[in-house]
Structure 1
């Protein structure tokens, strides 16, 4: 079995390396480069405007990294009187190590739905929430913050810059490499994958096993026609590796 990893940046490179070292042939085909966001200069001022016990939510390690670098370069520090959140355990550990602050995350469901199920998110009346994310993202969390009485401020910490490929050539390379399993870690990546592969190769694409990280992405894939879909319990690379190794055993 050969695996195609669409996860961008260092996480994608790391997963490919982990798979190869475990005896699973893997290729990396990232659709985006991750670069600094256009609103990072506003971050120190946004932090100063928050009231004690307001919330800061980071959607990914990239958001944490760019925010931490910006605060360090401008002489600011992570405030000790705020509450910090992420959508996943690995990002929470990373966030906590850089900020030296406690970071909350949903244990059972590492996504927006899990975040919204946390006790701290049930009544947001009078609460300001600063959301650190990329130049696009799901709108469920911001919408629910407003619906629950809070105020949401979204700050673009990073940008996803599309990578220009010859899609016919890259699809041919994947087929020749024997790709049978594709790892997709977001709905945006799934849509990009479908748009990237030429329509005359859709039968091949749908014949590949899909490894995703949520039932939401699974449902999106089923609407496109996939039937062989495996949902990884979590989105971190260690869990994805174990999920894939289970498929090969």
Structure 2
């Protein structure tokens, strides 16, 4: 007589900070799913903060401040409690715009592309900026590295663009507990990975590289992401099953649940 053993696919969440915790808690409370929390990066303030402090203390000559991600919002909130009235904030998508409103209120002026993450990003934001008067000076506050396409396009428009490092991203290093959990899972079903940036894909694949078979195990699973650019990076990393969703916790939860199929193995 056959007996059935059920094995659930692990769920791995890779966003930094509270965004990761918020989705993990949603899955735990509503669906009794204990996700693995693997933030691809830990966000820290830079060692040298004097230049950022001085710049944010006097924004009289700045017309627009671009915050590319929720991480940049969390970091800049360390310095800024209220923006001067002449400042327009800019974001590349609704997720960051939501974080801005949470940090500084519903009435802060924000320019951002509305709609799904698939129709957002630097290109969509630039199209909105092009329809306005050229901002005289744009301050971009981001991590230690970032995509250069938008700063270059703004300079070509005639804007004086200042890019500053407001936070440092420290790549994921798996804890001893996470390594053991991963090794124990390698013989079971491959996971559902929720990942929202190309850099995060690279960080996660690098973090598991020392463990034999871990990269292949990850790539056999399902990746859920929010932008076609991340889809391409996942496919380059060997993922064959990639789904795209909006940058919304409930939408991510629905995709995770849809893919969380119970695996069975027979034992005699």
Deviation at 1:248, TM superposition (A): 4.4
Larger helix proportion, structure 1 or 2?
Answer: 1
1:1-249 equivalences in 2 (<5 Å): 1-23=9-31, 24-38=33-47, 40-43=49-52, 45-47=54-56, 48-51=58-61, 54-72=63-81, 77-100=82-105, 101-108=108-115, 109-118=119-128, 120-121=129-130, 125=134, 127-165=136-174, 169=180, 171-175=182-186, 178-198=189-209, 200-232=213-245, 234-248=246-260
Give the Cα separation in 1 of the matches to 2:185 and 2:196.
Answer: 18
CA gap of 1:183–1:125, structure 2 versus 1, over 3 A, is: same
Higher relative contact order (CA 8 A, sep 6+): 2
In the superposition, the TM-score normalised over structure 2's length comes to 0.78
| Post-superposition CA distance 1:45-83 (Å, at most 9, x none) | 43435536x2111112332233222134xxxx4110121
Task: Say if 2:225 and 2:242, in contact at 8 Å, map to a contact too.
Answer: yes
Task: Say if 1:88 and 1:111, in contact at 8 Å, map to a contact too.
Answer: yes
For structure 1, list consecutive stretches of 5 or more residues without a partner in the other structure: none
Task: Say if 1:124 and 1:149, in contact at 8 Å, map to a contact too.
Answer: no
For structure 2, list consecutive stretches of 5 or more residues without a partner in the other structure: 1-8, 262-268
Aligned-pair Cα RMSD in Å: 2.7
Larger radius of gyration: 2
| Post-superposition CA distance 1:190-243 (Å, at most 9, x none) | 0112222236433322211111110001011122222100011x2232332233
Give the Cα separation in 1 of the matches to 2:16 and 2:64.
Answer: 27
CA gap of 1:196–1:66, structure 2 versus 1, over 3 A, is: closer
Give the Cα separation in 2 of the matches to 1:219 and 1:211.
Answer: 12
Give the Cα separation in 2 of the matches to 1:179 and 1:17.
Answer: 22
